[in-house]
Structure 1
Amino acid sequence: MTTINGAAQATTIESASTSPPQSNPNSAGALKNEFITLMVAQIENQDPLNPTDGTEYVAQLAQFSQVESSENLVQLMQANTTMLDNLQVLSTAALVDKTVTVKSDQLIASSSSRHQGYLDLTLSSNNVTIELIDAVGNVKALPLGAHPAGRVDYAFDADNLGLNGVYQMRVQLDQGQEYQPAIYQQGKVQQVTTPLVGGTSQIDVTGVGQVAFYDVAAFAQ
């Protein structure tokens, strides 16, 4: 796992072309070459009065070619996967110290922190209220009033609401509207963590915590 803590810190990225290719004696290409060698030797030493039917040779050679093509396709896909992983590392590393908007209902508050973002309402509501629930179930309410469907911006200071710690964000709407609108928060990227094998990169966002790279909804300077 590679962790990137600052914009000036670099990480070494190895691609599929970093190490020299290793020959595999059991690969389709090697087996096909061996088959051709044996076929030529058998043809050279066959009985001229009773020659071997070449149809079977051609069919077997075609099968080897199909297997070899499949192996080449698998190798190409592996190389593309490695390239995409490297591109993800480079793109996420560039996010350090940048402000992003992420989709998350977790909020981490401190006495001096300021939080802002927006909700995505599917339907209009006469009563839009953000509820902040702490670990023991205490609720802090942030009324936003009536809003039509679409984006609803919010901003608040943790000190004004007496917030300190980790909270789950929940939205209360008009009676009968049971769905939960998507919650988006803005924050600065403090750290990027990339997995060694597979998976998506994780970013640590101020006021939100760690989220997956694909949860980033917008980028800003």
Structure 2
Amino acid sequence: MTVSSTTSSGNTTLDTIVANSKKATTGSTDALGNAISSAAGGQTLGKDAFLQLLVTQLKNQDPLNPQDNSAFVAQLAQFSSLEGIQTLNTSVNNIAGSFTSSQALQASSMVGRSVIVPTTQAVVDTSKTFSGTAVVPSSVSDATVKITDSSGKVVRTLTLGSEPAGNAAFTWDGKDDSGTLLASGTYTFNAAATISGTSTALTTNLPATVSSVTLGQNGGEMMLNLAGLGSIALSKVQTIGL
């Protein structure tokens, strides 16, 4: 009689054991049934219950037709695999717990820090010079950055001109096209250039301040909550500053 284990959780189910025990004698079947009831209580079997059933099986085998050695070795291998899977599950759970603790420590150090992220919006203090970059995929001759206020009005157009492939840096003094200093607030930066004869939008990397952090759930990624801008995944951060 062979006891088999399922692959979904690494444990042996009662239905499988009963199905595989039909070849046993009446006496051994009764003993095995009693062992199943006491060891499992109708639940999925663990390694201790598996071993108890294996011992009960050996005690009640037919002496005139004993279990084949290869079948016995196979059942021992199943027991060893089951124990290994349970040990692995424990180790993975411990690693997951350590990862969560590491995330919490990392999160506490991120609050209040300045980061550079791919976005078109930024909270700007117009009393200071604002800096950002535009990602240029190939050499261009007419890169520009249009700055729009919260009402959707274009207040300034920065001409970058010719730029090689890479990150094209730009600065803004907080003034509009007429030279008037604007109020601090949220502004949108739209960079564009002509590539292969077509006007193409460029990705902009702008500074932002981390106001809080949301820890990833069930192994998910940590999210940074940016002041006035919303959330972004930690993996998208280009640079972490002071």
**TM-score, scaled relative to structure 1:** 0.69
Task: Kindly indicate whether structure 1 or structure 2 has the higher relative contact order, using CA contacts under 8 Å at least 6 residues apart.
Answer: 1
> 1:103 aligned to 2:118?
yes
Alpha carbons of structure 1 residues 193 and 51: separation in structure 2 relative to 1, 3 Å: closer
Alpha carbons of structure 1 residues 106 and 68: separation in structure 2 relative to 1, 3 Å: farther
Offset at 1:173?
0.5
Contact 1:113 1:159 in 2 (8 A): no
1:199 alignment partner in structure 2: 220
Alpha carbons of structure 1 residues 188 and 200: separation in structure 2 relative to 1, 3 Å: same
* In structure 1, C-alpha distance between the alignment counterparts of 2:163 and 2:154, rounded to whole Å: 22
Gaps of 5+ in 2: 1-39
* In structure 2, C-alpha distance between the alignment counterparts of 1:36 and 1:114, rounded to whole Å: 76
Q: What secondary structure does 1:174 align onto? A: strand
Alpha carbons of structure 1 residues 202 and 33: separation in structure 2 relative to 1, 3 Å: same
> 1:144 aligned to 2:160?
yes
1:57-76, aligned counterparts within 5 Å?
57-76=72-91
1:13-32, aligned counterparts within 5 Å?
26-32=44-50
Offset at 1:165?
5.3
Greater percentage in helix: 2
Identity of aligned residues (%): 24
Q: What secondary structure does 1:117 align onto? A: strand
> 1:127 aligned to 2:127?
no
* In structure 1, C-alpha distance between the alignment counterparts of 2:175 and 2:99, rounded to whole Å: 43
- How big is each residue's C-alpha offset from its partner over 1:132-191, in whole Å with a ceiling of 9 and x where there is no partner? 346665334332232222221122244547466555432110252554433211233222
**RMSD of aligned Cα (Å):** 3.2
1:210 alignment partner in structure 2: 231
> 1:35 aligned to 2:53?
yes
Gaps of 5+ in 1: 1-23
* In structure 2, C-alpha distance between the alignment counterparts of 1:32 and 1:177, rounded to whole Å: 69
Contact 2:142 2:160 in 1 (8 A): yes
Alpha carbons of structure 1 residues 50 and 145: separation in structure 2 relative to 1, 3 Å: closer
Offset at 1:51?
3.4
Q: What secondary structure does 1:173 align onto? A: strand
Matching residue within 163, 185, 196 for 2:206: 185
Contact 1:107 1:209 in 2 (8 A): no
How many residues are paired up?
Answer: 195
* In structure 2, C-alpha distance between the alignment counterparts of 1:192 and 1:179, rounded to whole Å: 34
Offset at 1:84?
2.3
Structure index of larger Rg: 2
1:154-193, aligned counterparts within 5 Å?
154-158=170-174, 160=176, 162=182, 166-174=186-194, 176-193=197-214
Contact 1:131 1:142 in 2 (8 A): yes
**TM-score, scaled relative to structure 2:** 0.64
- How big is each residue's C-alpha offset from its partner over 1:75-116, in whole Å with a ceiling of 9 and x where there is no partner? 433332332232222112212222222222233346657532
